[in-house]
Amino acid sequence: MFITSMDVIESVQIQNAFLIAWSKAQKVPGRYLERQAQKLFEFALKIPKGTSIVEVGSYRGRSLTLLAQSKNPIISVDPLNPKQVKDAANAARSLERISKQYKNVEWFRVPRVKYLHKGSLIGLLHIDGDHRYPSPMDDFLHFEEHMAPNSFVVFHDFNERHQGVRRAIKELSRRKKFIKEYSGNSLFIGRIVK
Ligand SMILES: C[S@@+](CC[C@H](N)C(=O)[O-])C[C@H]1O[C@@H](n2cnc3c(N)ncnc32)[C@H](O)[C@@H]1O
């Protein structure tokens, strides 16, 4: 395969766009690391035309701020249950601020099961909510029928410490129409063929 000068220009443009997006996202408290954010951003830029992004698990909005810079419409859901999230009130304020700041972002303080997708198909589903099995699997199954052909699902925390995430991916990988696009840096990215 030949690499053209257009490919080089495009990859420099993507890298520059990422650096700007990351400079904003890294100011938001969270555990999303730069190298993970880079992959997430890269895939957010290549979702099928006219589709949107759905995120399960917003916390304070670090990954949400990053995704917002892709300019795609985004919906993020998180119930911020104070029994599970110590700083739920601060997190809610942060997410309210982000949804006011970015016109393409909507945040709903609900668990994934309360959110029924309306409007455009999903081009990227970011799963970073409850990591205990069966939650990551249920997050995927809840939105699956609304996903566009050749859309992406990104699982955060695909590692030894989160066996629930690993189990969900192991089960999904048995499907012919679930194609692995990337795994590394505690991320797994699959493509949904329809
Ligand atoms: C690891 S944090 C998300 C981090 C975030 N993506 C970031 O970039 O900082 C996990 C979040 O999932 C949320 N959560 C737990 N159960 C959920 C559910 N059923 N639906 C949506 N969010 C959920 C928690 O409230 C918590 O804020």
pLDDT tier, 10 (very low <50, low <70, confident <90, very high otherwise): confident
Residue 23 pLDDT more than 90?
Answer: yes
Find the mean pLDDT for residues 64-76: 97
For ligand 1, the distance from its centroid to the CA atom of residue 7, given in whole angstroms, is 36
Residue 6 pLDDT more than 90?
Answer: no
The rounded distance, in Å, linking the Cα atoms of 180 and 97 is 35
* Residue corresponding to tokens 């997050």: 139
**Residues lining ligand 1, Cβ inside 6 A:** 30, 32, 56-60, 62-63, 77-80, 84-85, 111-112, 128-130
What is residue 156's predicted lDDT score, i.e. its pLDDT? 98
Q: What ligand 1 atom has the least distance to the C-alpha of 29?
A: 9
For ligand 1, the distance from its centroid to the CA atom of residue 109, given in whole angstroms, is 11
Helix ranges (DSSP H) in the chain: 5-25, 34-44, 62-68, 88-101, 135-144, 163-172
**Each residue's pLDDT tens digit, 27-39:** 999 999 999 999 9
The rounded distance, in Å, linking the Cα atoms of 155 and 92 is 23
Residue 194 pLDDT more than 90?
Answer: no
What is residue 140's predicted lDDT score, i.e. its pLDDT? 98
The lowest-confidence range among 59-73, 114-128, 131-145, 160-174 is 114-128
Domain at 5-192, CATH homologous superfamily: Vaccinia Virus protein VP39 (3.40.50.150)
Backbone φ and ψ for 112, nearest 5 degrees, come out as: -50, -40
What is residue 190's predicted lDDT score, i.e. its pLDDT? 98
Smallest CA-to-CA distance from 43 within 189, 179, 165 is with: 189
Find the mean pLDDT for residues 57-67: 98
> How does the average pLDDT of the chain come out, rounded?
96
The lowest-confidence range among 37-41, 92-96, 117-121, 129-133 is 117-121
Smallest CA-to-CA distance from 139 within 113, 170, 163 is with: 113
How do the domains of the chain map onto residue ranges?
Answer: 5-192
Q: 113 vs 76, which has greater pLDDT?
A: 76
- DSSP letter for each residue of 70-107: T-S-EEEE----TTT-TTHHHHHHHHHHHHHH-TTEEE
The rounded distance, in Å, linking the Cα atoms of 94 and 159 is 28
**Each residue's pLDDT tens digit, 177-186:** 999 999 999 9
What is residue 121's predicted lDDT score, i.e. its pLDDT? 96
Stated pTM of the model: 0.96
Q: 97 vs 9, which has greater pLDDT?
A: 97
Find the mean pLDDT for residues 79-101: 98
For ligand 1, the distance from its centroid to the CA atom of residue 98, given in whole angstroms, is 16
